[in-house]
Amino acid sequence: MVQKSPNDHLKRFSLAFLFTASLIASPVFAGVERLAPTEGQAKTVKEVIRNLEDRHYRDMALDDEVSGRFLDHYLEMLDPAKTFFYQSDIDEFNKHRARFDDDLKAGKLDMGFEIFNRYRERMKVRLESILERLQSEDYEVDFSADEELVVDVEDAEYAVDQATANDKWHKLVKSNLLNLVLAEKTEEEAKDTLIRRYTTQLSRLDQHNSTDAFETMVNALTTIYDPHTNYLSPRTLENFNINMSLSLEGIGAVLKVEDEYTQVERIVPAGPADKQGQLKAADRIVAVGQGEDGQMVDVVGWRLDEVVNLIRGPRNTVVRLEVLPPDDVPKTIQITRNTVKLEDQAAKKATFQLSDGESLFRIGVIDVPNFYQDFEAYRNGDPNYRSTTRDVRRLLDELEQEDIDGIILDLRDNGGGSLQEATMLTDLFLDPGPVVQIRQSDDRILRDRGSRSMATFRKPLVVLVNRFSASASEIFAGAIQDYGRGLIVGTQSFGKGTVQSLVRVHEGELKITESKFYRVSGDSTQHRGVVPDIVFPDLIDFDLVGESSYDHALPWDQIHEAPHAEYFQMDSMIPLLQEKHEQRAAKDPDFVYLVKQAKLAMENNDRKVVSLNLEKRKAEEDRLKKEAMTLENARREAKGLKPYGDVKAFLAAEGEDPEDGLDSSLAEPGEISLEKDPILNETGYVLLDYIKLQRSDQVQKIANF
């Protein structure tokens, strides 16, 4: 299954970042059919604005200040790298900066359409000029020249003249050619790929219609309120409903559009991509091929639904993806399509024995990839219908029969699902009391209470989370943390703490944020997520993944605390547990490796410029590979394993050594392994320490729990 991220359709026309040619900075071009708004769109935008002002959680009136922010955001959506518009265009648009609020309220869309038409005109002339140059016999690129490209779009500026624009576009096209050459294409093949890419984009440009312009413009407004408030045109709504209602077969990844690229937002647990193990969040998909040897189709600049259609396909067929990870070292990944089955995403358990040097402890692990419920079986009255809570209750009973000392509930990569299941799951670990607070846009606060029965599992509990633990996972982890019922371990979670509903408007629907989640402590899960008690290293760049990576995300805040019990004085335990964890981590080869690898990844992701010199880029790739091998060899030697003799041997074995691999994806699907998962292994020892502290007199407890 290939899924779209909820706000993916917003940047479908962000096709910038690619092109080079000379262009006279004239305000008007010929050859592009000018798009104009319709009466239906005028009625629709007025209804959208009325709903935003009356129902959105963020109380923000559409005034002159917001009008200016709308213009800035609209221009950023169209031309994020500032490669098409000239500064003269921006100066012209800014004359109308304070009038968009009044125009939109009145249903006047002419100026917004004028900006969209100008963008298309600029782009059409650019593409035609680039294609003419690329197709000329004397076109050559000097990869030996010592040039650099600024890759941080935050530092980009609009071109003030033709010479400035030409220099930027020369470097952009050279960069794209260089990336293709580094992906083992010849220079001629790289040029042919760009010709196909730009020809396809030119044809798509001619297919734009007034709905495309309107949807882009309205979403430039709605996403100022927050990134999850989106306008869905009738066409987009139809695609959205198809993807939500059908069991689509594909690779199991949630995709979004970032600038001109289709980017992986997260991997669906137990899906084909998760089982294959190479595709990662923040990877950019640049080409898609069918079968083991089908032609790779360049998809840079394509609309998201079109990329999804290429990736999706019949089960047991192969799709190949050419991707650019954040470090810009390209790779090709082969994945066999399949459906994501409920049984693959169902909760699973395992038991292990760990020793503190004196005694053996038996711990249980329950992996919960998703908060699910088989709604169809439930509606049909099936007494054995599957759900997260029912499955975990059964697994807990089985673990109790094995006489475990405590459990780890693994919520890594759990992107949420049924909120009802998340709150019901707390019933197994908490006595009656509130679980989550929901504040609505009118400031009313609702409190979701747990069951009226007492907790069924009362032994020590550790909840393991990571950056992909989101929404319902954060509600559960936050409740466990607030009650002092268990220890939260891992990395800061995603931070999705808002609730959306669909509102019908004249044409299409508005997905609008109307409520916000709060923990019983009064802290919001929005933006900040859940911060673990014991923090582990993470390779995920929080600037690329998570709610905080979205523009205009609602902020973290607090409301009044809901009265609730406190089971253990966690503040007295955490410093002791942290100290023991740090002592182990400093001696653990796997953890030392993770910390150093995370540091190296962050340094590479923080680059402001990249070289356009082929030899320097190859040298940079070689350096990264050697540094990765050096880190891996240090880990292997510390564990008494044979180091790799050279980079070639290291790359050949990377990801294929299940005996001592680092990534949990190296385990077989459904397998829970301490040996193959150092994060889970260390969490086991944290639980062991936690069990011993609870049994000591160093911890104050609530009576009778």
Structure tokens belonging to residue 39: 């009466």
Q: Tell how far CA 355 is from the center of its chain.
A: 38
Helix, strand, coil tally for the chain in percent (to 5): 40, 15, 40
Residue 410 appears among annotated catalytic residues: no
**Number of neighbours of residue 87 by Cβ within 10 angstroms:** 16
Q: Which of 130, 297, 305, 301 is nearest to 204 (CA)?
A: 301
Q: Which of 113, 66, 86 is nearest to 23 (CA)?
A: 86
Q: Which of 468, 368, 343, 482 is nearest to 425 (CA)?
A: 368
Q: Would you call 585 helix, strand, or coil by DSSP?
A: helix
Please give the angle made by the CA atoms of 391, 489 and 596, to the nearest 5 degrees: 125
Report the residue count for the chain: 705
Catalytic residue among 124, 168, 496, 516: 496
Catalytic residue among 8, 482, 523, 677: 482
Contact of 3 with 255, CB cutoff 8 Å? yes
What is the Cα–Cα distance from 88 to 68, expressed in whole angstroms? Answer: 17
Residue for token pair 């559960």? 476
Cα–Cα separations (whole angstroms), residue 111 to 77, 79, 83: 16, 17, 21
Residue for token pair 């001592």? 660
Q: Are strands 461-465 and 487-490 parallel, antiparallel or unpaired?
A: parallel
Cα dihedral 673, 675, 681, 684 sign = positive
What is the Cα–Cα distance from 178 to 186, expressed in whole angstroms? Answer: 10
Beta-carbon contacts of residue 221 (< 8 Å; ≥ 6 apart): 48, 49, 52, 62, 70, 73, 74, 104
Over the Cα atoms of the chain, what is R_g?
Answer: 27
Beta-carbon contacts of residue 655 (< 8 Å; ≥ 6 apart): 277, 278, 661, 663, 666
Structure tokens belonging to residue 68: 């200016």
Residue 665 appears among annotated catalytic residues: no
Q: Tell how far CA 94 is from the center of its chain.
A: 33
Instruction: Name the maximum alpha-carbon separation found in the chain.
Output: 84
Contact of 352 with 365, CB cutoff 8 Å? yes
Contact of 510 with 545, CB cutoff 8 Å? no
Alpha helices in 530-613 (DSSP H): 570-587, 589-605
What is the Cα–Cα distance from 670 to 664, expressed in whole angstroms? Answer: 11
Alpha helices in 297-359 (DSSP H): 304-311, 342-345
What is the Cα–Cα distance from 390 to 174, expressed in whole angstroms? Answer: 57
Residue 14 appears among annotated catalytic residues: no
What is the Cα–Cα distance from 301 to 305, expressed in whole angstroms? Answer: 12
Alpha helices in 405-469 (DSSP H): 419-426
Contact of 227 with 233, CB cutoff 8 Å? no
Q: Are strands 261-267 and 284-290 parallel, antiparallel or unpaired?
A: antiparallel
Q: Which residues are catalytically annotated? A: 471, 482, 496
